[in-house]
Amino acid sequence: MSEVMSEEILENPRDDILETAKRIIRLGPICDSCLGRQFAMLATGLTNAERGRSLKTVLAMQASADGDSSTLEDLAPSFRSARLKLGRRDEPDARCTVCLGEMSIEVLDKWAEKSAAALAGWEYSTLLVGTKMSGLLAENEELLLADGGSRHAEPFKSELNREVGKRLTQLTGKEFDLRNPDMVVHLNLENGEAELQVASLFIRGRYRKLVRGIPQTRWPCRECRGRGCPRCNYTGRMYQESVDEIIRPAVIQAAEAEDTVFHGAGREDIDARMLGRGRPFIVEAVRPRKRTIDLLKLHEEINRQAEGKVEVIDLALADSSMVERLKEAAFIKTYSALIRLGADVAEEKLKSGLRRLVGQVDQRTPTRVSHRRADKLRLRKVYSTDLIEVKGNLARINVKGESGLYIKELISGDGGRTQPNLAEILRVDAIVEELDVIDVGGESDGTSSRNAEEV
């Protein structure tokens, strides 16, 4: 025996497996699984029931050899061999005082059948089993750990998950996946139900918003917060439709989902269109019954239902990790703006004015959003500006800028809160009359604030 080991044994004189097992058995009737679970970390390749049975067997043999009838008495309620030795042939096994019978073969089988029944009718390829403990069982487990004193136990949950899981993979033929299962079956020990947790289905794509006046996502009424009031005409919302809600019905139908959640890579203003190649988005189908989606058909169906207001392109399946990336991505955007000037400005002067906007811009939170956003100074980049057309005091320009750049304020100056700005450079009033996003392009260098609302 090595020095380290002998020291350990001196420090922990009570760590004798058979002594510990005897102490546990003295606490009350205990099934093979619950006894074996107290030593789960010690011998691999065995079930806890096998570990428990082995311990009971050795304890009974030792007690017989020693003529130790008190240990045989302790073993008897939950070990038939000890009962035979004591002449108690006709007595059945007592109920386990730890799991209250949950670890019996019949109950484990019943849990697996219940789980399989809950999973029927859902399309999925991977699953996982979890356990919601009841207060009573959690307390039993704690008491056993405290009074039994084994240092090698595994949690009750782990064994139940594993044992039901084994049976469930047999019943369903599906694979286990610890990280990203389509389905998690929660065995609720409090109410006896097998409850399903269904992973969302994620579909990515790009959307074009072809009309003005539609927000990107559902917008609950500010007055009533969605309950319905005179202001919102009892609809509960500020706008009657949104890109989100236009896309939603076809996705719900295709995935047989309960709801959808819309994730956009930033958003344009309600009065701005989203043109060009469109804006990247991910739509999350919540609790989908179907996971095999005909994306071409979905694409056609969304566009048909959108009636020319919205169009989606490049639909593909995505996964949950892409949502985070999409939200964090800071895209470079190109805008087309129709601007109205306070006076006619010569084309050359306008062009040189626009050139002076390129570079770094300081923007305080715009007045128009200051009621819902903290007043902050942001530094944003303007990559390029182009004059497309000028007619009298109306000009159409393109601006390519960093994610989070406010275009309306870049033109008007917002009372000097954006510097530089076109109005100040030209020394005439300048306002954006119409704004469209015409490209959401490659990622910028990441210095901008995340997930900002642009334009």
Residues contributing to the site for Zn ion (CB under 5 A): 31, 34, 96, 98-99, 103, 221, 223-224, 229, 231-232
98 or 251, CB closer to Zn ion? 98
Name the pairing type of β-strands 272-286 and 394-401.
unpaired
50 or 223, CB closer to Zn ion? 223
Q: How far is the CB of 233 from Zn ion (least distance, A)?
A: 8
Q: Which residue of the set 269, 414, 436, 439 is catalytic?
A: 269
Q: How far is the CB of 222 from Zn ion (least distance, A)?
A: 7
Q: How far is the CB of 221 from Zn ion (least distance, A)?
A: 3
* Nearest-10 crossing angle of helices 156-172, 105-119: 60
- Residues 224-230: contacts with CB under 8 Å, at least 24 apart: none
28 or 413, CB closer to Zn ion? 28
144 or 425, CB closer to Zn ion? 144
107 or 171, CB closer to Zn ion? 107
- 259 carries an active-site annotation: no
- Dig out the tokens for 177 from the structure: 């996946």
- Can you tell me the distance from the alpha carbon of 381 to that of 377, in angstroms, rounded to the nearest whole number? 13
Q: How far is the CB of 6 from Zn ion (least distance, A)?
A: 35
Q: How far is the CB of 31 from Zn ion (least distance, A)?
A: 3
Which residues are the active-site residues? Answer: 269
